[in-house]
Structure 1
Amino acid sequence: MRQRPNVEVKDGLVVLNGHAIKLPNIKILRSIASGAHGTVFEGVDLDIDRHIAVKVWYKSGEAVREGAMREVQRLAAMTHPLFVTVYRLDIAGDSPFALMELIAGDSLKGWLKKQVIKEPKRDQLLEYLNSNKQSILQRCAFWCLYSRGLKHVYSQGVLHGDPHTGNILIFEDEVGVTKNFHDHHILRIGSFSSLKIIDLGTSLLWKNPDDRERRELGIISETVERLFPDFKPSEVMHICAELEPSSLLQVFDKFVEYILELVSVPFITEDDFARLEHSLPQLLGWCPFFNYSRVSLHLNSIFEMGEAESLIQHARWQLEGKSSVVVSNVVGKSSSVAKSSLEADIDALTKQSKQLQVNNWIFEPED
């Protein structure tokens, strides 16, 4: 592992390994966070008396300056509410530094470490959903913002490079950024935090495009696992095909929609059941990456058995209607015992899902 320099703040200056670096018209107040290539500080722009974030790179030289320029230019190009604003890049002596928007908050990595998230016991999912609704909704909101931000990056024809939870900053949403990005069903009650992406990975670390994309896919999958350890995404979603990062985000968007449907169950009224009976099978039917056996365990835990069977059966019917390969008759018999209707429907859903073309897995809803 690369050894990092000793970083200090003394008399308003950055001190790296005992060497003071004076940034023009900038007073450094404290260190915020350190990474592999540099440290971010809180500082004051003395010209306009504004508190700012200041990133100072550890090393100097032309190659470091060029890398810093590429990194800052990539971040500055993401003109979007979910990304921090970059003010400028400059050089102090031989050390590059960047001035950026200062956001008071914690990283998503740090926020998750403070949460107590446990996997619910089997047959206690309804109770778990009821008592942990606020936490689940907040994490769903974080995922939706994270997904939206990365989709913006990919719309520019580039990869993020390092979209891990340490590069996501969580802050109190006083101006309503979260509410501007979410449907009302996520934010019916309480106040929610929002997030901003504070860094884009350096492209020099992964020169092979295939390696960079595999890394991106791995980090996205790791992020959703860290957000929802109580629902075990890798068990609920069976990612059986190689997807592009933007498509993988859409798969996990469906997973989060599914979680939101489950969260609505403890508070559902009799009049709302028709909506759920329609929307949940639609959701399952339009995304062939669900592990239907795992889904059935969830449904049987929160519904009466007949209702759970009905939801799975409706999903099967909808997937049959959308799939180009219709499997309308699943015998599902062994030499001794015929499978139950629920098991047969799960088999049919699983079989049909695998037959769908990967690039056609997203279906538009019909009224």
Structure 2
Amino acid sequence: MGNGKIMLNGTGLLISGAAIDFPDYEIKERLGGGANGVVFRAWDRNLERDVALKVWGSRGLSRAQDESKKIAALTHDCIVATHRFSWVGNHPYCVMEYVPGESLKSWLKAERPVEAKIAIWKGYARALQHIHSLGVVHGDPHTGNVLVGPGANVKVADAGTSIFWDDHSKFETREKDLIIETAHRLFESEKLSELWAPPDAVNHQDALTMFDIPVEFLSRAYGLPDHDMRSLAASYFSDQILAHPFFRLDAVIRHIDAGGVTDGERVLRRINASLAGRTSFMDGDEKLSHQTQERYSARMKEAAALVRHMRGAVSAPVA
């Protein structure tokens, strides 16, 4: 029974050619499918509401209940809720919260405002932080498993398969890589890869935390300008850049000037003055000096070396 043989059949399904009806649910449409099953929108006849109904194919048949139990335990407002697991004959299915909208992968096909992207990242990060806090990993946190509803409301879905991985080190690496890939895809038009260069020697939890820093930077840079607060904003940016030496300075200044909450010259005066050891930022240069570039580059190397050292000494447990 391959997933390609799970098809709509009126208000039920055809599974490997056999008609299957779900007594309490009226199947409406196919929402998507993966390696282990197919998800449909269905009408719950008893509660009179739309739900998402996942039906497993042969590949995931033996582990459907364990997957569903893992997902059901991840209770959070940014994670798709699980309502029920059951069987129709030999066919397992799971009833989940229906999220009207589209996947993040589909959502990103159109131009989107940076404010909406920031809201999505925050929801995505909150969901994964909750999962990580339980000592587990999501397993597949790519853009196809992030659902975007009205008002950039985010729900993370399909977190069940990681319990079947034997090699947790490879699984952690996959989780980290997908988090980084999602951040870059989400902020592709903001050129996040040019703005922020974190070291490779981080695990999945560190990667999530590290990308919160440039996202907060973008949130401040593209926030509502307040001309009475331009100096304070410049101080905030310079402090963040110096505290987290993974920013690329030329890209930072472009974003600050484009956002308009302050101007790049103010920020550069503070950075130049700080790295040159001056007592007042008013003595700082208005352009990125060669001396500043060299000293900041040295800080980046020192910070990356420190992270590599810490990652070599510390290993986070994964269930």
CA distance in 1, matches of 2:256, 2:38: 47
- Tell me the secondary structure at the aligned position of residue 132 of structure 2: helix
The letter for the 1-side match of 2:106 is G
Aligned CA RMSD, in angstroms, stands at 2.6
The number of aligned residues is 297
Asked whether 1:254 is paired with 2:213, we answer: yes
User: Compared with structure 1, are the counterparts of its residues 55 and 300 closer, same or farther at alpha carbon in structure 2 (3 Å cutoff)?
Assistant: closer
Aligned-residue offset at 1:36 = 1.6
Aligned-residue offset at 1:306 = 3.8
Other-structure match for 1:39: 38
Other-structure match for 2:56: 57
Other-structure match for 1:104: 100
Other-structure match for 1:335: none
CA distance in 2, matches of 1:273, 1:286: 20
Contact preservation (8 Å) 2:173, 2:203 = no
Other-structure match for 1:345: 292
User: Compared with structure 1, are the counterparts of its residues 298 and 197 closer, same or farther at alpha carbon in structure 2 (3 Å cutoff)?
Assistant: closer
Other-structure match for 1:162: 140
Contact preservation (8 Å) 2:197, 2:247 = yes
CA distance in 1, matches of 2:34, 2:299: 46
Asked whether 1:292 is paired with 2:289, we answer: no
Other-structure match for 1:93: 89
CA distance in 2, matches of 1:282, 1:82: 31
Aligned-residue offset at 1:194 = 0.7
Aligned-residue offset at 1:58 = 1.2
Among 175, 198, 202, the residue aligned to 1:239? 198
TM-score (norm 1): 0.74
Q: Cα deviation per residue 1:211-261 (whole Å; 9 max; x = unaligned)? A: 111111111111111111122222211122411212111211111111122
User: Compared with structure 1, are the counterparts of its residues 268 and 44 closer, same or farther at alpha carbon in structure 2 (3 Å cutoff)?
Assistant: closer
TM-score (norm 2): 0.84
CA distance in 2, matches of 1:270, 1:213: 45
Other-structure match for 2:15: 16
The letter for the 2-side match of 1:240 is P
Among 116, 128, 137, the residue aligned to 2:111? 116
Contact preservation (8 Å) 1:38, 1:56 = yes
Q: Cα deviation per residue 1:265-314 (whole Å; 9 max; x = unaligned)? A: xx524311122122111221222221234324545676766424214336
The letter for the 2-side match of 1:116 is E
Contact preservation (8 Å) 2:86, 2:94 = yes
Question: What are the within-5 Å matches in structure 2 for residues 252-291 of structure 1?
Answer: 252-264=211-223, 267-291=224-248
CA distance in 1, matches of 2:149, 2:166: 33
CA distance in 2, matches of 1:195, 1:46: 26
CA distance in 2, matches of 1:240, 1:88: 42
CA distance in 1, matches of 2:139, 2:210: 20
Contact preservation (8 Å) 1:163, 1:201 = no
CA distance in 2, matches of 1:300, 1:171: 32
Contact preservation (8 Å) 2:43, 2:49 = yes
User: Compared with structure 1, are the counterparts of its residues 3 and 20 closer, same or farther at alpha carbon in structure 2 (3 Å cutoff)?
Assistant: closer
Contact preservation (8 Å) 1:280, 1:311 = no
Other-structure match for 2:117: 139
Give structure 1 stretches of 5+ with no counterpart: 118-134, 173-191, 321-326, 330-339, 361-367
The letter for the 1-side match of 2:61 is V
User: Compared with structure 1, are the counterparts of its residues 53 and 83 closer, same or farther at alpha carbon in structure 2 (3 Å cutoff)?
Assistant: same
